[in-house]
A and B are shown apart, each in its own frame.
Chain A
């Protein structure tokens, strides 16, 4: 089972919830936690585990072979991303704009643009007893998160059996990286704050999940601040409200130090119990 934790607005507690939920679940069963926020991965700051495996991740980009090229111009014409440009008698490839579609490479009549791997980031796997933790990290200057997320999802699918519970810590927002993370999730937890920003971005996230036809629920973080709009909306839209994490400065302080909250704050652990109970009912429904 795959559970993605997403939010719309940044800084609402995705990483806090993912790292705590995964660690808490791992006290009794095998769990895979994956930090899919490849631009700014943070879950690892809260997890103590041993390094198990590390691999560089590559994307495929074309490389110009001058000797074979007849300067016919087809490559430039077929590239919709302006990643292949003809400059006089030279073909220039801009790897950061390349989406790896292979069109230029395969449509080149002279095979003058073979695809070669270019490093875009790194995948690191850790383990601590029942908890497997995987982090993917995009290299600075790489603009596209989606290819790395896609490869990370594939790595998890091939490394861990279906029955192991998998938690994805998603990036903020509602654009392509979030879609790539939540695409094959069985359930999505949208975590938000009961503030106007949190509410506005929650509505966008809900719209996105509905478009993807996902089953999802809402967790309110820092309950007690702001207003009742998120509560009222969830109720009106019949979205299950899985938990309300109280607003407490002590939680922010533990978080700031990189500590897991559920071990220190019983009220927080109680909310996790509620989420776990809900997830269990989902599993029963599926079986």
Chain B
């Protein structure tokens, strides 16, 4: 079983639309993991049935029992996150600032502070229209620990893939280079980077590739909207050559991306022209690269 992670560094490059298309083309052979947990969108294209659902508890959140609090203020003094609020000499915890280190509870002289395990999100196992299964999640609003929820979604998807002897897990990662991305990348067999020829696209590609190198994972790159700026597309191609990143394909700026999405469809279902053909070829190339790797 091979794990293919699709990321982009920069948001809005077409990563999710392409991942969903690959999942569609791969059909029953591909288990899908939507690891962009704080803005998960894949379910809008793949018609999941939300068959199984489980809450995800992670981290801790301090809670002050008012009847035991003697208002000594020690908790506020040790908190590095300014999460202890004092209003009219009543001490409470700002749940959005609390990072759950538990320090305040440990030093409270009357044990008035307890740690609760908050629901950090919900994750689902769904049957999807490709004839396969998708593991996806919804992070709680403002919740911490998105990296851990990503790890959970991935672990579930991998387990299903192994149990059912599937060939691939395809992971839709999140933008950026922080903890959710690090969680998405760990353990991957191959990374597909979706970029665009804009100054931001190239800048973010370079940063995210630096991160990928730390994991020593082989990477390939798709340049989407490549005709928007042919000069920058060339610059990206040069970067790929120098860094020995597989150049998978150049895709055109095409409003079918949006039209397919608006129809609740993957691009390969909606479009049957040249674009579909190119995505088809890209998927075959990715499979080949993953197998040879």
A residues bordering B, Cβ < 8 Å? 8-12, 15, 37, 39-40, 42, 45-46, 78, 80-81, 99-103, 106-107, 138, 140-145, 171-179, 183, 193, 195-197, 200-201, 204, 207-208, 211-212, 225-227, 249, 252-253, 255-258
Contact for A15 among B16, B141, B200, CB less than 8 A: B200
Chain B residues positioned under 8 Å from A103 (CB to CB): 78, 101-103, 106
If the complex has contacts A9-B12, A40-B204, A176-B142, are A144 and B178 also in contact, measured as CB distance less than 8 A? yes
**Distance A144 CA – B81 CA, assembled complex (angstroms):** 14
Chain A residues positioned under 8 Å from B182 (CB to CB): 143
Interface stretch of the complex, out of B126-134, B160-168, B191-199, B284-292: B191-199
Determine whether the beta carbon of A258 is less than 8 Å from that of B199.
yes
Chain A nearest CB from B263 CB (Å) reads 9
B90 at the interface (CB under 8 A from A): no
If the complex has contacts A99-B101, A195-B262, A200-B41, are A253 and B175 also in contact, measured as CB distance less than 8 A? no
Pick the 9 closest A-B CB pairs, nearest first: A11-B12, A10-B11, A101-B101, A39-B176, A256-B198, A258-B199, A11-B11, A256-B229, A173-B38
Additional pairs, 4, CB under 8 Å, beyond known A42-B203, A140-B210, A172-B176: A39-B177, A173-B175, A212-B142, A252-B253
Chain B residues positioned under 8 Å from A252 (CB to CB): 198, 225, 228, 253
Interface contacts (Cβ under 8 Å), in number, total 186
Count how many chain B residues have C-beta atoms less than 8 Å from C-beta atoms of the other chain. 63
- The 29 sampled A-B contact pairs (Cβ below 8 Å) are A10-B11, A10-B12, A10-B39, A15-B200, A39-B177, A39-B181, A40-B175, A40-B200, A42-B203, A46-B199, A101-B81, A102-B80, A106-B78, A107-B103, A140-B210, A172-B176, A173-B38, A175-B139, A179-B96, A196-B41, A197-B41, A197-B261, A200-B39, A200-B44, A204-B39, A249-B228, A252-B225, A256-B232, A257-B232
B residues bordering A, Cβ < 8 Å? 8-13, 16, 38-39, 41, 44, 59-60, 78, 80-81, 96, 99-103, 106-107, 139, 141-144, 146-147, 174-182, 196-201, 203-204, 207-208, 210-211, 214, 225, 228-229, 232, 253, 255, 258, 261-262, 264
Determine whether the beta carbon of B211 is less than 8 Å from that of A255.
no
Chain B residues positioned under 8 Å from A12 (CB to CB): 11-12
Chain A residues positioned under 8 Å from B11 (CB to CB): 9-12, 172
Chain A residues positioned under 8 Å from B81 (CB to CB): 101
**Distance A218 CA – B261 CA, assembled complex (angstroms):** 21
Chain A nearest CB from B111 CB (Å) reads 15
If the complex has contacts A145-B178, A197-B44, are A225 and B39 also in contact, measured as CB distance less than 8 A? no
